[in-house]
A and B are shown apart, each in its own frame.
Chain A
Amino acid sequence: MGKTLFDKVWDRHVVSSEAGEPTVIYVDAHLIHEVTSPQAFAELRSRGLRVRRPEQTFATMDHAIPTREIPLWPDDAQAQVGALRENCDQSGITLWDIKGDVQGIVHVVAPEMGVTQPGMTIVCGDSHTSTHGAFGALAFGIGTSEVAHVLASQCLMQEKPKTFAINVEGRLAPGVTAKDIILAIIAKNGASGGVGHVFEYRGSTIRGLGMANRMTICNMSIEGGARAGMIAPDITTYEYMYGRPYAPTGKAWNDAVIEWSALATDDDAVFDRSLDIDAGALEPMVTYGTNPGMGVPVTGAVPQGKDLADDQQRRDLEAALDYMGLVQGQPMQGQHVDIVFIGSCTNSRIEDLREAAAIVKGRRVADHVEALVVPGSKAVKAAAEEEGLDRVFAEAGFQWRGAGCSMCLAMNDDKAGAGKYVASTSNRNFRGRQGSGSRSLLMSPIMAAAAAVEGQVVDVRGMLR
């Protein structure tokens, strides 16, 4: 029987697999940031251990840092960034510092630098590490104890997950994007539908997507319960990677492409589970509730409790709507919006910003809306400014920020106020995620751009040019 993409990558990284013990797998690239690493370094120090492979460890600062020019940083962000600098310096780890030219959201910067490569195992103390699966890597988030394990041993103990094929076939209609594909998948399969599994996104629709879009889809695998999501590498992958700083060169590049091209799932491989999505039938999606599975097409309405299967689901819907200030059966279009956030490791790449800018160009942000664009990295920001996207956004009334996680998780000063509705391109609509009491409506960059202009949820398909 053939092997899946996941099986091939897994099998190549097994260090030890003995009866009665968890499998030990080797980690090729370990990404770290300022929030989930300080306690791990402290653990190493307390045991007198050193970082085993500093040259396979890469750090950046993204979660807690401000994304606007402020004279004085908060003490806690200073302390976390200071600890990261000290830890990287002492251990010889490459740090993409906010003071330098390379910096941004860890899941935007590592692919840009060519660190993310097909067939690798990649981990980070951040659940959206699944993003890197877009390159055919096995990439997943870990906790801080495991960050310490990888720092000290370059290995992890893992239960082998099961495989889950998500087949996406058909042609996307204009105005329907990668974000809508993944929101539709999670709405269909549920926020916990992928627990214990690794998704592999397959099919003609996926093959037709560029790397930014593939990253958007893999990024939200965790929102569907799967720790990792993967896409087989192909010519699109190699074109994106070629010439990036850490990508192989010369003969090593040619050899690598041959090796990577053998990673795709074999024709006779069998997945533990599967799900089919008809891309041609998809519409722009928007969430109404407090987990990413609570999403509907923008032309749809908030579900009604009477249509749900069991009491617990009804209670959860009622609790979510109570928090969101929405009512059962309410159409999504016309829902008021206070804030628009375009950014996050899901949707802050240059392609995302280009698409949003095309909607915004020549239009104005509604008077009552506060709108911000937070590029995923300094490189994205520079590229956008080179193309004049910053002026398009600024002229429309958007704030143009520095690179970071910003209002996706509201660890820095970018917080939505209590009760405010945020049209957001990020990945989580959890209660209070974007600020205490904030209400998130997840959607694509072009849908968020449209919402900014109209001051409410609208179907972007009426605004395409």
Chain B
Amino acid sequence: MRKDLLGMKEMTSEEIMLLLKTASSFKDVLKRDIKKVPTLRGRTVVNLFFEPSTRTRTSFELAAKRLSTDVINFSGPSSSILKGESLLDTALTVEALGADIIIIRHSSSGVPHMLAGHLRASVINAGDGTNEHPTQALLDAFTILEKKERTEGLKMVIVGDILHSRVAKSNIYCLMKLGVELRLIGPSTLLPPAFEEIPGVKVFSDMEEGLKDADVIMMLRLQLERQGKGFFPTTEEYFREWGLTKKKLALARPDAIVMHPGPMNRGIEIASEVADGTNSVILEQVTNGLAVRMAVMYHLEQAKGEKRG
């Protein structure tokens, strides 16, 4: 493993499979009565979040605690031009507190990459702008493997605002490396032609056509402010064309699983009856997120240990 986890773009399928294997052992830990292991005792993990987040931050925090690390949460200003301290100074300050792993979320793409170049601590990208959200892709891959026991040859659709979705980006990079057949579905304003240039990826604006025989359906959260920017006329029209309803779900394979990175807009991208239905694995994704994040922290620390050794 490398020092940092910046994106799925840079990862090999071997690295991904190793992480998922480790995550599987950690998931067993999470099922015990005592859900904690001493693996990283004495290490310090800092959640450095420049963008508000409860779900991802909590997941990282709990994962770090399950590994017996000390965890600090640190909120930075959302932009370095608003406040006095520069982005780099904030990160260096956090490192000087003794951080071994710094988990970074920022609304600007590339911030974890830039900071990683200046830090000795490991950097985990917890979401940067519209670039990547690698641990989300890992937990998605983990969930798919758990449910389908394979990835090779699976037909998977990702529906929604592909253009602005770091979840979609990381999933595309990750799942393509694992041999999944990917179809992307969305209004063409949110799914520009550049996506057709990705080898092996198919692009649809007609959801019904794209859903046929799908094994995995991933719905993306629709950022409501996109309506104001003119990417689509109304959420009503959006739901009609690209929302997942029971009727549309019937076009997929009967054993298809339905995923969503959360938080959901019920009635905008997904109908409640589908979100809560038998095909949905949405809450299991949340649980798996813990195991995957434990595995990532474990391997990053291992890699540094090997270097030191």
A binds B: no
